[in-house]
């Protein structure tokens, strides 16, 4: 019985110039229990075929049927298909911040949709994951972050994830490319012997190593220039491929048993020639020098125009030097008799900043998630960004006035003001962070049948968490400064004392308040820069 049926499959990649026809009229089927190797020269269409088979790319024409799920032109796979179909990516598709065991457990996401598994997987799932990792030589690296594993170790983790997923159809794109002979043999053995006969499982594997293809496969498919040029016994298929390599030797050195890596194959005569840089469009008109002179004049003009617009005058600073000296001299020596009051209000300022920043982080995370282009739908993005823009546009002191009018004087309106103001900034930082994550682990999580929430929990959140903590700490630091001004409108914090002292010309007391504030900001700055540096490493 066929578990994979491909009919007249075509795939074109749209590009800015001409679409690239990666697959043309592919037809074949794979029976349950069969082991198939896809071989071919670099650029032949092997990875493209696997991407369509796994439902990640929609066929341009024709259809694919996998384990009872039919994917026609323009369609991608439904989530339910990934109970039966799994994939090992050429780039492994691991979440770099998760440990080896967490990545392997991700293979079970379709089968573990409960809220509890968002925190911890059941013991039997964990035991099986440990067993698989141990068997592939990673018993000592179970809790190591996958970004700290070598290429070969990551590849073994990806294989263990597929084995744990245990689908009816296994698709693998060069799964042993980074493994040494020992581990390649072991991996192939586990994949091929993972009950394919007993459980009627089909394994389809892209391989560059023809010896491995001969050893592993019942059948070989040879892809060439997007077409399936051979479908039959491994020995014959390998000979077809070797003949193709001799017929078209320009792709680089192809040995009799192993094909050249993609990078070598893509070198052409054109690339080999030394490149002459294209002239800048401006070169022909006036030359580069004149362009930069004109640019400098324009920038200087912009500054002069701005300075005139705001009545900027250096002479006004030096002309009133006496006043400045007088002002500063009245600050010295600082009057430390107000230290107790200042310290108390400063503590209140820090408490306001801490609560305000935390609330802002909680409020802004869901809004940022809706605003991020890579994980949210367009209408949500527009509304969420509008909300964040509005929160950011209004200065914290105006928010302070607003909340004093609503809830009265004291630190509470100050906290609300900081929450709203900081949420606007944190939301923007967070969604920009989310948009910058690596999309490949998310794609891999799709092929284990993860729900959108699971994809966020295991794919987005771990990647963006260090960045988010870093931004939140920075915001906390900033909010201590912002909180110090809110006292001016009666919204708590040290600002009240600063404002009162300056209004009453008690500059020596104001100096004490400023010194205390400086000490807190300096300590906070040092701590937060250290923590942020650690988080980002």
Q: Any contact of residue 237 with ligand ATP (CB under 6 A)? A: no
Determine the interface stretch with ligand ATP among 13-21, 146-154, 347-355, 477-485 (rule: CB under 6 A). 13-21
Cβ at position 48, least distance to ligand ATP in Å: 3
For residues 314 and 484, is the Cβ–Cβ distance under 8 A? no
Check residue 12 for interaction with ligand ATP (CB under 6 A): no
For helices 339-371 and 411-435, angle between their N-to-C axes, nearest 10 degrees: 40
**Contact residues for 166 (Cβ-Cβ < 8 A; gap 6+):** 86, 107, 194
Using CB under 6 A as the binding criterion, the count of chain residues that bind ligand ATP stands at 13
How many Cα atoms are found within 13 Å in the side-chain-facing hemisphere of 58? 8
Based on the shown chain and the rule CB under 6 A, indicate whether residue 42 belongs to the binding site for ligand ATP.
yes
Residue from 3, 4, 28, 47 that binds ligand ATP (CB under 6 A)?
Answer: 47
User: 228 vs 418, which CB is nearer to ligand ATP?
Assistant: 228
Under rule CB under 6 A, residue 40 binds ligand ATP: yes
Q: Does 43 bind ligand ATP (CB under 6 A)?
A: yes
Residue 311's Cβ-count burial label (10 Å; 0-12, 13-18, 19+) is exposed
Centroid of chain to Cα 6: 33
- Starting at the edge strand found earlier in the chain, the sheet holding 2-13 runs 20-31, 2-13, 61-66, 69-72
Q: Considering the complex, what minimum distance in angstroms separates the CB of residue 40 from ligand ATP?
A: 5
Cα dist from 101 to 146, 157, 178, 395, whole Å: 9, 8, 20, 46
Residue 46 binds to ligand ATP (criterion: CB under 6 A): yes
Residue with Cβ nearer ligand ATP (256 or 287): 256
> Both tokens of residue 44?
């032949």
Binding mask 253-272 for ligand ATP (x = CB under 6 A): ---------x----------
- Is residue 45 part of the contact set for ligand ATP (CB under 6 A)? yes
Q: Which residue is nearest to ligand ATP, using beta carbons?
A: 262
Q: Is-contact 291 283, C-beta < 8 A?
A: no
155 part of the interface to ligand ATP, by CB under 6 A: no
DSSP secondary structure letter of residue 119 = T
441 binds ligand ATP (CB under 6 A): no
Least gap, CB of 47 to ligand ATP (angstroms): 3
DSSP per position, 328-397:
HHHH-S--GGGHHHHHHHHHHHHHHHHHHHHHHHHHHHHHHHHH-TTTS-HHHHHHHHHHHHHHHHS-HH
Shortest distance, position 251 Cβ to ligand ATP, whole Å: 10
Residue 470 makes contact with ligand ATP by CB under 6 A:
no
- Give 458's DSSP letter: I
Tell me which stretch binds ligand ATP (CB under 6 A): 38-46, 334-342, 445-453, 459-467: 38-46
Contact set with ligand ATP (CB under 6 A): 13, 15, 20, 22, 40, 42-48, 262
């Amino acid at each position: 019985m066929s578990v994979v049926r491909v009919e007249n499959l075509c795939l074109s990649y749209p590009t800015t110039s001409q679409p690239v026809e990666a697959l043309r009229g592919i037809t074949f089927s794979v029976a349950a229990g069969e082991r198939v190797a896809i071989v071919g020269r670099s650029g032949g269409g092997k990875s493209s075929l696997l991407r369509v088979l796994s439902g990640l790319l929609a066929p341009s024409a024709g259809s694919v049927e996998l384990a009872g799920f039919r994917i026609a032109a323009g369609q991608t796979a439904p989530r339910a298909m990934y109970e039966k179909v799994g994939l090992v990516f050429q780039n492994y598709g691991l979440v770099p911040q998760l440990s080896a065991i967490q990545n392997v457990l991700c293979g079970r996401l379709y089968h573990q949709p409960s809220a509890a598994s968002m925190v911890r997987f059941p013991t039997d799932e964990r035991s099986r994951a440990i067993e698989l990792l141990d068997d592939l030589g990673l018993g000592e690296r179970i809790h190591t972050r996958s970004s700290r594993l070598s290429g070969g170790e990551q590849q073994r983790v990806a294989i263990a994830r597929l084995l744990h997923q245990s689908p009816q159809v296994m698709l693998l794109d060069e799964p042993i490319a980074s493994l040494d002979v020992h581990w390649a043999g072991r991996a192939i053995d586990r994949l091929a012997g993972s009950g394919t006969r007993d459980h009627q499982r089909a394994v389809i594997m892209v391989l560059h190593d023809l010896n491995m293809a001969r050893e592993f496969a019942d059948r070989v498919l040879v892809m060439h220039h997007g077409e399936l040029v051979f479908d039959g016994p491994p020995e014959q298929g390998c000979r077809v491929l070797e003949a193709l390599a001799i017929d078209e030797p320009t792709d680089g050195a192809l040995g009799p048993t192993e094909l050249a890596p993609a990078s070598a194959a893509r070198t052409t005569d054109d690339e080999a020639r030394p490149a002459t840089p294209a002239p800048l469009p401006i070169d022909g008109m006036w030359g580069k020098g004149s362009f930069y002179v004109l640019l400098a004049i324009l920038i200087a003009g912009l500054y002069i125009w701005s300075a005139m617009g705001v009545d900027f005058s250096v002479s006004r600073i030096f002309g009133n030097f006496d006043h400045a000296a007088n002002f500063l001299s009245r600050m010295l020596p600082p009057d430390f008799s107000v230290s107790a009051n200042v310290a108390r209000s400063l503590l209140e300022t820090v408490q306001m900043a801490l609560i305000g920043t935390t609330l802002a982080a909680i409020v802004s995370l869901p809004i940022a998630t809706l605003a991020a282009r890579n994980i949210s739908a367009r209408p949500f993005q527009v509304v969420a960004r509008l909300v964040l823009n509005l929160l950011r546009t209004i200065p914290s002191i105006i928010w302070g006035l607003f909340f004093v009018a609503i809830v009265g004087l004291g630190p509470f309106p100050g906290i609300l003001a900081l929450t709203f103001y900081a949420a606007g900034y944190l939301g923007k930082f967070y969604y920009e962070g989310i948009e910058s994550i690596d999309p490949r682990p998310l794609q891999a999580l799709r092929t284990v049948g993860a729900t959108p929430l699971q994809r966020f929990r295991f794919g987005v959140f771990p990647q963006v968490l260090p960045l988010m903590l870093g931004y939140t700490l920075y915001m906390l630091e900033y909010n201590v400064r912002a909180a110090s001004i809110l006292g001016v409108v009666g919204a708590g914090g040290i600002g009240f004392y600063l404002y009162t002292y300056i209004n009453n010309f008690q500059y020596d007391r104001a100096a004490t308040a400023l010194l205390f504030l400086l000490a807190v900001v300096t300590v906070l700055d040092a701590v937060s820069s250290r923590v942020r540096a650690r988080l980002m490493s």
